[in-house]
Amino acid sequence: MNFLVLIEALGNMARLDVLAIMVVGIFVGLLFGVIPGISGITAISILLSFMWGMDPVLALTFILAVNSATSQGGSVTSILLNVPGDATNAATLLDGYPMAQKGMASRALGIVLTGSAVGGLFGGLVLLSILPVMKVVVMSFGSPETFMLILLGLIFTALIARTTLLKGFIAGCLGLILSFFGLQQATAVSRFDFNCMYMEDGIQLIPLILGIFAIPEVIDMMVEGETSVQSSGFTQKASDTIEGVKDVFRNIGLTLRCSTIGTIVGFVPGLGAGAATFMAYAHAKQTSKHPEQFGTGAIEGVIGPESASNAKEGSALVTTLGFGIPASAGTALLLSGFLVVGIQPGPKMLTENLHLSVWLGWTAIIANVGSSFLMLLTARQMTKILYLHVRFLGPLVLAAVAIGSFSNRGTFLDVLMTFAFGAIGYGAAKAGYPRVPIVLGFILGKMAETYFLISVSAFGPFFFLKPISLCILAVILLTVAYEIRSRIRLRRKGVIASA
């Protein structure tokens, strides 16, 4: 790719109308992001109707800025309220919220926003650099390779548990079972629908996540104390936010590795940011010198998923731009945005519309970094929400959860389902079962089944005997062996209990 194209596209970003529409998109994305359940998918679906008649460049800049900023807004509620904006932010709350409870909310926000900016920059640069060779990269992943990558994610369902492998495995299996409810995509057979029309579409992700994580937290909040932090007299300082920024660069190796994980996952259609963040979290835990601290406010546990989350966005655009194949639900709606303004994604995006592809790459980078910078300026003020008395904060969180779950599909049954999963999440937490494997098993379960059936049908029972598949299998075996070795060592030290 001509270097002058990169410079020309970057220079065009200085247009006043482009900068103005990007700033508006960032603010709109942050606004949608801080409302639990109102994800980037929901935001784009609502805003698509406003794209009719707009200049294609301005319209796509606006939508991409909205999509880039929503994850940052969701990270704020994950840290301050233990309520994820959507699946993208679910891994962040595992250590982000415990940091806030310890009076380190500003530091956690500094880590999140800086990690997101670095990850977004990394993913955007990958997009710009790989545009000329994107076809070779994307076409190397067929159904067998995709299934093996999903299998790697499923292995993490047990490994990320802080307690025992057995409890993590049981929780992951529960998530897998829940993913099988509803219509089976390959055979069109409805399963576990209980003769109920609502269940024919299966269990929805937003009610599951909000119920599993948010409702138990509200119950604990109402039972245990007056504020959601351990020390109501603690004052957040601007220097705490700066310390969080420094934490990311102190752990720059982990940041870049997790950004790489997010980028690789982003190339594979269907996996999504939820899988990327949990894989990055598991990697951060496995490579940490103190894995026993994860879940109690470990800095690495916040850096990992946030770096992967935004890095994934750049590579997810690769298949969307080059082949018109969306890599996730978010890019599927972005694809709709292309069609709305009269642009057909595909090979022509690398020839006739190369300048537009490069423009979008720069937009992804600037929107990610810009939204992180704007949030950093107000990080200390945002932490004041932690000191609200639970008589005010609890009902506000419940209202936000109800609105978020209802907005998912506009049905009150989703709200009821959210509270049903809240009971399951509360029971799991009290019994010592990790809740994250439930979500990860649910996210990956249906995709694993679909790609497995396709792989067996196309290549037979030994479909995994392909170069890339064997490499991923080797990574799986090494990951399991390393985890078992680490747990044996920690068990000898008395850090964790035996399974």
Q: How confident is the model at residue 499 (pLDDT cuts 50, 70, 90)?
A: very low
Q: Which residue has the tokens 């109402």?
A: 222
Arithmetic mean of pLDDT, 188-197: 75
The pLDDT, as a whole number, for residue 372 is: 80
Residue 234 pLDDT greater than 50, yes or no = no
Q: Which of 421, 464, 26, 41 is nearest to 209 (CA)?
A: 421
Per the CB < 8 A criterion, the answer to whether 330 and 67 are in contact is yes
In DSSP terms, 190 is beta-bridged to 183
In DSSP terms, 456 is beta-bridged to none
Q: What is the DSSP letter of 370?
A: H
Q: Cα–Cα distance between 102 and 88 in angstroms, integer? A: 24
What residues contact residue 278 under an 8 Å CB cut-off, 6+ apart?
90, 91, 153, 156, 160, 305, 436, 439, 440, 443
- CB-neighbour burial class of residue 249 (10 A; exposed 0-12, middle 13-18, buried 19+): exposed
Residue 134 pLDDT greater than 70, yes or no = no
Q: How confident is the model at residue 348 (pLDDT cuts 50, 70, 90)?
A: low
The pLDDT, as a whole number, for residue 390 is: 63
Arithmetic mean of pLDDT, 263-277: 69
Per the CB < 8 A criterion, the answer to whether 335 and 97 are in contact is no
68-112 pLDDT, tens digit per residue, is: 777 777 777 778 777 766 667 777 878 888 888 887 888 888 888
What residues contact residue 150 under an 8 Å CB cut-off, 6+ apart?
271, 275, 444, 447, 448, 451
In degrees and rounded to multiples of 5, residue 154 shows phi and psi of -65, -35
Q: How confident is the model at residue 331 (pLDDT cuts 50, 70, 90)?
A: low
Q: What is the pTM of this model?
A: 0.64
Residue 463 pLDDT greater than 70, yes or no = yes
The pLDDT, as a whole number, for residue 118 is: 87
Arithmetic mean of pLDDT, 428-442: 79
Residue 357 pLDDT greater than 80, yes or no = no
